[in-house]
Amino acid sequence: MSSLLQGVNLYLIGMMGAGKTTVGQLLAKHLGYGFLDTDSVITQSAGRSINQLFAEEGEAAFRQLESDVLAQVCAYTRLTIATGGGIILRTENWSYLHHGLVVWLDVPVELLYTRLAEDTTRPLLQDADPQGKLRSLLEQRTPLYSQADLKITVREEQTPEDIANRVIEAIPSVLKPQVSQ
Ligand SMILES: Nc1ncnc2c1ncn2[C@@H]1O[C@H](COP(=O)(O)OP(=O)(O)OP(=O)(O)O)[C@@H](O)[C@H]1O
Ligand SMILES: O=C(O)C1=C[C@@H](O)[C@@H](O)[C@H](O)C1
Ligand SMILES: [Mg+2]
């Protein structure tokens, strides 16, 4: 599989709680790739949590940091990159994402909500109706997530390892082997 990918980066996109970070780490291991998480790069370099960045600088400033990180990351190869759930919002980010193979982890809202119900680290879910918020964000974002090269629909019983394996199995369907002359 690594030889088919030829070092092309894998970008995981999808909603908060979709499993981009969890599955991305497994995929990197399977592919012999490095792993990066844009949210972690941002929080480490800013020395602040995502909640703090949203509260102190605002969402727009966070989105700018996210674009800056993505622009830097795409200069490297052999990486699996877990992105933030909103990376798909800026058109300019797509010019970077399309340098690699983009995989959408599509997870039903009910499952996202179960996973994140106790989680306080996602500022956009600090809402009176977090499940409704997830539903409306997914509705707004679905046309953007749909621009991925690959869509992996996730069911409740699938473990992160199952999902990583499904991604690996699906890669050949979007990458044609190069024919040697
Ligand atoms: N297939 C799975 N089965 C069960 N739990 C999972 C699965 N994938 C992820 N989780 C759990 O769901 C939670 C959210 O996963 P994760 O942080 O990987 O999502 P994310 O897509 O990176 O979210 P964000 O966009 O907010 O960074 C974590 O607690 C993780 O352990
Ligand atoms: O879906 C989103 O907009 C977000 C997802 C997270 O990964 C973080 O990037 C942040 O909480 C915003
Ligand atoms: Mg993540």
Residues annotated within a binding site for substrate: 39, 63, 85, 141
CA-119 nearest atom, ligand 1: 29
Residue nearest atom 3 of ligand 2, based on CA coordinates: 86
At residue 179, the pLDDT reads 64
Residues 6+ apart with CB under 8 A from 101: 5, 8, 9, 10, 11, 149, 150, 171, 174, 175
Q: Is residue 82 lining ligand 2, measured as CB closer than 6 Å?
A: no
Pick from 21-35, 134-148, 167-181: least confident: 167-181
Confidence of residue 4 (pLDDT cuts 50, 70, 90): confident
> In 3-state terms, what secondary structure has residue 44?
helix
At residue 153, the pLDDT reads 98
pLDDT at 107 over 80: yes
Average pLDDT (102-113) is: 97
CB-CB neighbours of 52 under 10 Å: 13
CA-159 nearest atom, ligand 1: 1
Percent of the chain predicted with pLDDT > 70: 96
**What is the C-alpha to C-alpha distance for residues 95 and 163, in angstroms, rounded to an integer?**
26
**What is the C-alpha to C-alpha distance for residues 8 and 26, in angstroms, rounded to an integer?**
17
Nearest C-alpha neighbor of 89 from the set 70, 105, 107, 74? 70
Confidence of residue 37 (pLDDT cuts 50, 70, 90): very high
Write out pLDDT tens, residues 46-56.
Answer: 999 999 999 99
- Cα(162) to centroid(ligand 2), Å: 24
pLDDT at 97 over 90: yes
Write out pLDDT tens, residues 40-92.
Answer: 999 999 999 999 999 999 999 999 999 999 999 999 999 999 999 999 999 99
Residues annotated within a binding site for Mg(2+): 21
Q: Tokens representing 88?
A: 């798909």
CB-CB neighbours of 149 under 10 Å: 18
pLDDT at 1 over 70: no
Residues annotated within a binding site: 17-22, 39, 63, 85, 122, 141, 158
Q: Residue 125 burial (CB < 10 Å; 0-12/13-18/19+)?
A: buried
Q: Residue 14 burial (CB < 10 Å; 0-12/13-18/19+)?
A: buried
- Cα(22) to centroid(ligand 3), Å: 7
